[in-house]
Amino acid sequence: MAQIDLAEDKPRLGRKRDHSRDPEILEAALDVLTECGYDGMTIDMVAARAKAGKATLYRRWPSKSELVLEAVGCMKSSHVDLSSPPDTGTLRGDLVAMVRSPTIRDSERKLKVMAGIVSMIARDPELAVAARQALVEPRAAANRIIFQRAIDRGEIPADADVDTLCMISPSLVSYRVLMLGEHVDRAFLLHVIDHIILPAVGLTPPAEG
C-alpha cells in the first residue's frame, strides 16, 4: 500500500498581503487623479507613479472606482484639527487662525481632486458621499463651530445664516482655483474675511495700516 503523505492533505495558507504601501499608492492615485481626471486615469498609471506592480494594485483594488473611492475617503488634513478649530474670542480671530499655508495647499489639492471626480460623482452615489465627507464636510463643520461661537457670545446676530456664511469662502476659493486657474494665498483669504464675510454679519474689519 502506498504511503500517504499527510503533508499534502494540509491546507496551504496563502501569503498574507502586505498593506504597508497602501498609503503611498493612494497618494499616487490622488496625484494622477488631479492631473488626468477620473476618465483619463488608469490603474496602470497609478502603479507606475507609485512604483508598484500592476498585479498588486489589481489584487487590492479590482477596479478603478474602488481605488478612487478609497483614496478620496482617506484624504485628511493633518495640519489642523478641524473638529476643534481655534478659539481666539472673536469671529475674525478664529477665521484668521484657520488661514495657514499648509491648509491652503491642502484645500487647493482637495479642489483639484473634486474636479477630477466630477464625472464619476454623477454616476456613483457612494463616491459622492465619500467626497462630501472627506473634501467638504470637515471644513464646513469647523466653520459652523466658529460662526456658532460668534452667535453664542452675541458678536453676530442670532439669526445669521450660518450655512450660507460657511459657503462664501469655499465658493470663492473654488472659483479662483478651478475657473481662473489662480493660486489662493493668505492675502486673498484675509481679503475675503475682512471685506466680504465680516460686513455680511454687520462687523467692521480692522483699519488697514
Structure-model confidence comparison of residues 77 and 83, the more confident one? 83
pLDDT at 135: 77
What's the whole-number average pLDDT of the chain?
Answer: 84
Q: Give the range among 6-20, 23-37, 126-140, 184-198 with minimum mean pLDDT.
A: 6-20
The single-letter code of the amino acid at 163 is D
Answer yes or no: are the C-beta atoms of 116 and 131 closer than 8 Å: no
Q: Is the pLDDT of residue 4 over 80?
A: no
- Quick one: pLDDT band at residue 50, thresholds 50, 70, 90? very high
Assessment of whether the complete model's pTM goes beyond 0.75: no
Q: Is the pLDDT of residue 15 over 60?
A: no
Report residue 4 as a C-alpha cell. Answer: 500517504
Q: Is the pLDDT of residue 12 over 80?
A: no
pLDDT at 45: 95
pLDDT at 18: 56
Q: Is the pLDDT of residue 94 over 80?
A: yes
pLDDT at 74: 80
Residues 202, 207: Cα–Cα separation, whole Å: 15
**pLDDT per residue over 145-170, tens digit each?**
999 999 999 999 999 999 999 989 98
pLDDT at 181: 84
Report residue 171 as a C-alpha cell. Answer: 465658493
The residue assigned the cell 500592476 is 54
pLDDT at 146: 96
**pLDDT per residue over 171-183, tens digit each?**
898 888 888 888 8
SS (H, E, C) the chain: CCCCCHHHHCCCCCCCCCCCCHHHHHHHHHHHHHHHHHHHCCHHHHHHHHCCCHHHHHHHCCCHHHHHHHHHHCCCCCCCCCCCCCCCCCHHHHHHHCCCHHHHHHHHHHHHHHHHCHHHHCCCHHHHHHHHHHHHHHHHHHHHHHHHHHHHCCCCCCCCCHHHHHHHHHHHHHHHHHHCCCCCCHHHHHHHHHHHHHHHCCCCCCCCC
pLDDT at 205: 86
**pLDDT per residue over 31-40, tens digit each?**
999 899 888 9
